[in-house]
Structure 1
Amino acid sequence: HYIIPEVTLFFNQKLFRGNRTKKVDATNFNAFDSPNMKPLVKLGININVSWKEVLRPTEIEKFHVHKNLNQHVALLQLFPGISYATIKSFLTSVEGVVLESYGAGNAPDKRKDILQALKEATEKGIIIVNCTQCTKGSVSDIYATGKALTDAGLISGKDMTTECALAKLSYLLGKNISKDAVNQLIKTNLRGELTDIPKIPRFSKFVNPDNSYIVKIINLIKSDESNINKKDLVNHNLSTLTTECNNSNNILNETSEKKGNECIQENIHNKIIKILLPSLYRIAASTGDIAGLNELLDGWPFLINNADYNGQTGLHLAAKQNHLKTSEFLIKMGCIIHTRDIYNHTPLWYAVTNNFDSPKKQKLIQLLIKCGAIYASDEINDVKELLFR
């Protein structure tokens, strides 16, 4: 089974992220598309999953649906000839509007009446989100016509679909938060609905309290990588200088041989890292070495859901050893709680069946259940026997 912990839509052999999807055709099989993001999964002879695009849970909470939506939101599309009176009338009884503008988020900057109507609305507290009428692309204020809307108080919807922007606005206005908070959250990536590069690190810098041996190994690897890059630069400059100053075949042959040896050394170095890093990750998870895990995931984040020959992730291994804090750290870094190993067991199973008997074990079980972990049907009887014996 492939664990994709998202709200998705599957159609015509493709799995799309729900909040990125649009209906683009009323009759053909290619009825749905995700214009600004490739599908999460494509089915052919093989099942191709874009794992780097799949969202990872980063909160210690179960999945739940928000039902308190604000119904006083609406959709307005700009069109040639739209009047001030039309916009003014439209904005009288709403709390939020998604405005479909031209191209990359543009409006006619010569139409001062339209811009004035929009500015009056935003000054009254009506939140207006600027999205493009185009199927694909994003809004921007790099053009004067786009900047005019920003100056009028509109918020960039970036590359959200109109449908998504409308649902997000309804959701945010349904929460008990200030208008300033809504303005900020509209343009913030909450559930993968828009393309955004974080300006600050997602996690605060972890301070290593004990300088574990895994951290020392990682520092050596990073230091070695830095030296290799420096050697490449020096050797490149020396090679260029030698070629320009002396065209002797002997010197050129020596340089080529030297570079060949260095290439072999670099390939060996890369293979060592490919083998060593997953092993260090699993050792750190098994021993509860949070400092080592932090250093590994800071340098090589792809390791987070790396599995061993038994299909067990770091969370499986931490749960086996009753490491509560380590399990919590891994979940917050994006380790999937639903992954099943070759024995069809999740980390929750190993939290229940580990050989420890302490309050920490109960807290670990509660932590995983709080995040939405469940038992397989064939595990329930065994779990009951273990928990209530």
Structure 2
Amino acid sequence: MDVSQLANESRVLVIYTGGTIGMLVGQQGYVPEPYFLTETLRSQNRFHDPLQESLFSNAGTVQGFREWSNHSSGRSSPVPSQTAVLPEAYPTLLVRSTRPIGEASLSIPNERVVKNQPRCVKVGENVYEAHLPSLVTPCSKVPGGTASKSIRYAILEWNPLLDSSNIDIQDWIRLAAEIELNYQFDAFVVLHGTDTMSYTSSALSFLLEDLGKTVVITGAQIPMSQLRNDAVDNLMGALTIAGHYIIPECCVYFNHTLYRGNRVTKMSSFDLAAFESPNFEPLVKVGIDINVNWNDVIRQTSLRKFRAHKEMSPHVATLRLFPGIAGTTIKAFCSSPIRGVVLETFGAGNAPQRPDLIDAFKEACDRGVVIVAISQCTKGSVSDAYETGRALLQVGVLPGSDMTPECALTKLSYLLSKPELSLKQVRDLIGIPLRGELTRPSATAPSHTATAPSTASLDANIGTIQHVLSQFVRLSRPSSLVPEVVVTSDALATASKASDTAAPWTWTAAEASTAESVLLPFLIHLAASRNDLESLEYCVETERMQADHHGHERASTGEPAGRYGGIAGGIVNSLDPGSGRSPLHVAALNGHAQAVAMLLKSGALVHLRDTLGHTALYYAARQGHPDAVDVLVQAGAILGNFDTGFAELAVKNALRTGDKLTLKIWARTNVKIPGLYDDL
């Protein structure tokens, strides 16, 4: 395979649990059929293009079509003969699972589907691996970018395939474990039935701790086997987002929309728009363009590695209040072994005020049962606006803000499964957004009117630009004792008046904002290259203040996202137009461990690749910067698929020259070549 192809290729693992998306029509309705979905995708060029192996660089272009036409008709082709023949029609990808894979997983062998299945090997306790044949999408332009990219993916199919009504806690843990076992992939797509999809997406959002890669769950209302279906669009949309963007969350993709996974609920059993996120805007809307709401995407700010939590408490339940419910019912419901209850209340958190009910809730809370109140209403939040709501809070019932029932249940199960958390800590964490699952209570934003920018607003923007320019001047001089360049708004106003007769000169708050948004990405790259922590902090803080300001404006005027809304992951992930490198790449390349740590704590994406397909970890190791390597590894960095070949070559060269220092640095990145490190 050509090296340049790997640089423009994302690798995605598709975990197929079952559901309508891959079903066929049987005598009693839709039924799952092993390997039908995989073989169907392999037969469709939009999901698998065999010529992609040789014509990847021109796929989707006029030139590519003409090359393909010449090749297929037997005429002379500009494609070299060694690439016109496909020696690796289906290159394999190493996939691990907690259960046997492929033929080994079939309870009843089927000659048709197992004849080409790979050999499954047990490599540890409840760990199996196999090299699965891969599929690859046609190379296409990255949405919002200029480069072309293909998505290579393997399908890990569960056996038996499960209807989502049969999915339970152990299946959530299995999914989390398989994502952890295969974390070398760039992203993950989970195919799942729709009935309990919102439970699974909520559970995974908590189980996948310190997630740094995209996880998208999708399915269909009509299976792919039917001529008219939503399966094709849903799967293609999920693959496209997973392969092209780093959105480090567990998400649900359905009907051209990507939602935060713990914010969705199934609203319809017959509409193609089956899911809604009633209290939180979608993360992505897909139309002719793909519009990502980067302002709302979660950014990891810890220096911790990704891990999958593999426990959930089964002793949780949901209780829905209804008029006339008896106190004895509540006592029975909250009795042992129940440890947590999601209480679906009326309206904004209200409940009947009968003494038997209130006493039953108080008795349960006093025994240590964690009761979380949410609203039965699809939209809205629990509050203490009514006396009937305050009564519950006074006896120990916790407000669940605007969490969905699915999210509240899985969050409670997750927290109660952690033995290191005390009861008080669990109660405290219920009201804190751990994965963006609830809206944090905040003071009411000041009202704004859609009027022309005021003089104060203009002065504020100009003042910000003054500081940006001052940072540039300071960084451009070898000495740190550089006098600050100050351009006052009065001076600008004088210059404006003086030039009125010659040419019109205007400087609105919007124009000042645009100028700042252009300058700041250059500043943060320069600061990263110089290990200038002051300027890095300035850039991050400026973005935060502007995001808060624009958040208030959006709330009052309905305007779109703020000035940095177009940067994936914010200013700390702004890309250099030429190299595609982020500030983290730049800091790692120069060995600035302090800058690397600050960027990571500010939300830098540790798995981001540049135009050449390399990660920051690769550059830090290649340049021989052990401190930067250690910080990146601590934050969960791993070498990308395109990095590993170069890393192994560097290790072999170091072995040949006896360069033990270089070998030790690469060893910190977990490069594994048997026998190489025995003498280190």
Q: Which band: TM-score by shorter chain?
A: 0.7 to 0.9
Measured at CA, do residues 23 and 319 of structure 1 come closer, stay the same or move farther in structure 2, by a change above 3 Å?
Answer: same
2:571 corresponds to which residue? 303
Q: Does the C-alpha gap of structure 1 residues 91 and 297 become closer, same or farther in structure 2, counting only changes over 3 Å?
A: same
Distance 1:271 1:74, change over 3 A: closer
CA distance in 2, matches of 1:166, 1:275: 44
Q: 1:36 to 1:79 in 2, by over 3 A?
A: same
In the other structure, the counterpart of 1:102 is 346
Does residue 1:313 correspond to 2:577, yes or no? Answer: no
Change (3 A) 1:75 1:266: closer
Deviation (angstroms), 1:28: 2.0
Q: Tell me, what secondary structure is at the counterpart of 1:296?
A: helix
Residue among 151, 156, 168 paired with 2:399: 156
Deviation at 1:35, TM superposition (A): 1.3
Q: TM-score, normalised by structure 1?
A: 0.80
Q: Show the counterpart of 1:56.
A: 299
Number of the residue aligned with 2:369:
126
Aligned to 2:611: 342
Aligned to 2:426: 182
Deviation at 1:377, TM superposition (A): 2.6
Give the equivalent residue in structure 2 for 1:380: 644
CA distance in 2, matches of 1:131, 1:8: 22
In the alignment, the residues of structure 1 paired with residue 539 and residue 311 of structure 2 have an alpha-carbon distance, to the nearest angstrom, of 41
Q: Secondary structure at the match of 1:264?
A: coil
Distance 1:158 1:321, change over 3 A: same
Q: Which amino acid aligns with 2:432?
A: T
Q: Is the 8 A contact 1:100 1:132 kept in 2?
A: yes
**Residue type of the alignment partner of 2:620:** A
The CA deviation at 1:373 is 2.7
1:327 to 583, 589, 596: 596
* Aligned counterpart in structure 1 of residue 438 of structure 2, from 194, 203, 226: 194
338-347 or 370-379, which deviates more: 370-379
Cα displacement (A) at 1:105? 1.0
Identify the structure with bigger relative contact order (alpha carbons < 8 Å, sequence gap 6+): 1
Matched residue SS, 2:371: strand
Q: How does 1:4-23 map to 2 (within 5 A)?
A: 4-23=247-266
The aligned amino acid for 2:439 is T
**3-state DSSP of counterpart to 2:343:** strand
**Code of the aligned partner of 1:187:** G
- For the Cα contact (< 8 Å) 1:215–1:291, is it kept in 2? no
Q: Kindly provide the amino acid, as one letter, of the partner of residue 318 in structure 1.
A: A
Moved more, 186-195 or 33-42: 33-42
- Matched with 1:214 is 471
- Give the secondary-structure state (helix, strand or coil) at the position aligned to 1:8: strand
Question: Counterpart amino acid of 1:305?
Answer: N
Q: Percent identity?
A: 42
AA aligned opposite 2:323: P
Q: Write the distance in 2 (CA, Å) between the matches of 1:283 and 1:63.
A: 29
When the two chains are superposed, the root-mean-square deviation of aligned CA atoms in Å is 2.9
1:274 positional shift: 3.2
- Deviation at 1:265? 7.1
Task: Confirm or deny that 1:135 pairs with 2:399.
Answer: no
Structure-2 residue corresponding to 1:368? 632
Between the aligned partners of 1:382 and 1:134, the Cα distance in structure 2 is: 55
Deviation at 1:327, TM superposition (A): 0.5
- Which of the pair is proportionally richer in helix? 1
- Paired position in structure 2 for 1:87: 330
Distance in 2 (CA, whole Å) between partners of 1:194 and 1:268 is: 35
C-alpha displacement of 1:262: 8.4
Normalised TM-score (structure 2) = 0.47
Q: How many corresponding residue pairs? A: 343
> Any residues of structure 2 matched to 1:244-283 within 5 Å, and which?
263-264=506-507, 269-283=512-526
Shift in CA distance, 266/183, structure 1 to aligned 2, threshold 3 Å: closer
What residue identity is the alignment partner of 1:288?
Answer: N
Shift of 1:146: 1.1
Q: Confirm or deny: 8 A CA contact 2:613 2:642 kept in the other structure.
A: no
Preserved contact between residue 352 and residue 386 of structure 1 (Cα < 8 Å): no
**What's the CA shift string for 1:101-140, capped at 9, x where partnerless?**
011111123x221111101111121110001111111100
Structure 2 residue runs of 5 or longer lacking an equivalent are 1-243, 444-469, 476-482, 545-569, 655-680
User: What is the rounded CA distance, in whole Å, between the counterparts of 1:334 and 1:25 in structure 2?
Assistant: 36
Query: C-alpha displacement at 1:270, in angstroms?
Result: 4.2
Q: Which amino acid aligns with 1:324?
A: A
